[in-house]
């Protein structure tokens, strides 16, 4: 039955997400995922044919999540929304052992994608749009000063990406991240 089948598929995806979060992408074998899910060696091939296709599914689902985890209040000030966004990002960057960032990087590297419709790119675009709108809103409300909101939004996202990857390569303390995010805010906000 399609419904039950979907459930099982989701079970595998959820188990696999754990595995990928722990071990990244490159080092994960089908066996790892099989052992993490309640499925047999042969059974997993009924749903996925490789670790890559499982991870692709995870990314797809990831993309469907809203950019902002919390509620966005229409009447909220742009500064507050920005602070909220940055705080969420910081939290995620620091939760480096539990998130999918390393797996996502490794997946991108292994598959040498960077093609137009890859989910990581789409996610970036989506975040870029949201952030650009946020900045434009702040500018029109007189909260922010910014000549090129789109470029500024991209700048913030690339900085966050740099922090995210650096958390894994050189290690980052919360203080260091705060220092960087503070700069971002100071640059924008009219005091």
**Cα 64 to chain centroid, rounded:** 11
Give strand pairing partners of 144.
Answer: 189
At residue 189, the 3 state secondary structure works out as strand
Nearest distance in Å: CB 61, DNA: 19
Residue 5 interacts with, from DNA, a second copy, none (CB under 5-8 Å by kind): DNA
Contact between 142 and 190 under an 8 Å Cβ cutoff? The reply is yes
Which tokens in the block code for residue 101? 């960032």
User: Closest Cα to residue 82, out of 126, 125, 138, 154?
Assistant: 138
Nearest 5°: the CA angle 171, 177, 180 is 125
Residue 84 interacts with, from DNA, a second copy, none (CB under 5-8 Å by kind): none
Residue 38 interacts with, from a second copy, DNA, none (CB under 5-8 Å by kind): DNA
Contact between 100 and 21 under an 8 Å Cβ cutoff? The reply is yes
Considering the complex, state which of residue 53 and residue 179 has its C-beta at the smaller distance from DNA.
Answer: 53
Residue 23 engages DNA in binding (rule: CB under 7 A):
no
Query: Which one of 10, 14, 26, 29 is in contact with DNA (CB under 7 A)?
Result: 29
Q: Applying CB under 8 A, which residues contact a second copy? A: 24, 26-27, 102, 104-106, 108-110, 112-116, 118, 120-121, 124, 148, 151-152, 154-155, 157-171, 176, 179-180, 183, 187
Nearest distance in Å: CB 125, a second copy: 8
> Angle formed by the axes of helices 51-64 and 2-23, to 10°?
100
Considering the complex, state which of residue 5 and residue 63 has its C-beta at the smaller distance from DNA.
Answer: 5
Binding site for DNA (CB under 7 A): 1-2, 4-5, 8, 29-31, 38-43, 45-46, 49-51
């Amino acid at each position: 039955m399609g419904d039950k089948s979907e459930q099982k598929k989701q079970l595998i995806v959820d188990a696999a997400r754990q595995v990928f979060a722990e071990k990244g992408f490159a080092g994960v074998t089908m066996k790892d995922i099989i052992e993490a899910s309640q499925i047999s060696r042969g059974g997993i091939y009924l749903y996925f044919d490789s670790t890559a296709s499982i991870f692709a599914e995870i990314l797809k689902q990831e993309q469907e999540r809203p950019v902002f985890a919390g509620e966005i209040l229409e009447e909220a000030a742009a500064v507050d929304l920005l602070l909220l966004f940055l705080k969420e990002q910081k939290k995620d960057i620091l939760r480096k052992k539990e998130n999918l960032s390393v797996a996502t990087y490794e997946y991108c590297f292994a598959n040498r994608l960077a093609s137009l419709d890859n989910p990581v790119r789409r996610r970036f675009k989506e975040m870029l749009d949201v952030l650009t709108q946020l900045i434009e809103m702040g500018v029109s409300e007189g909260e922010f000063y910014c000549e090129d909101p789109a470029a500024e939004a991209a700048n913030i996202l690339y900085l966050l990406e740099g922090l995210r990857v650096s958390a894994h390569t050189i290690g980052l303390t919360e203080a260091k991240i705060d220092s960087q995010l503070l700069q971002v805010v100071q640059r924008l906000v009219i005091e």
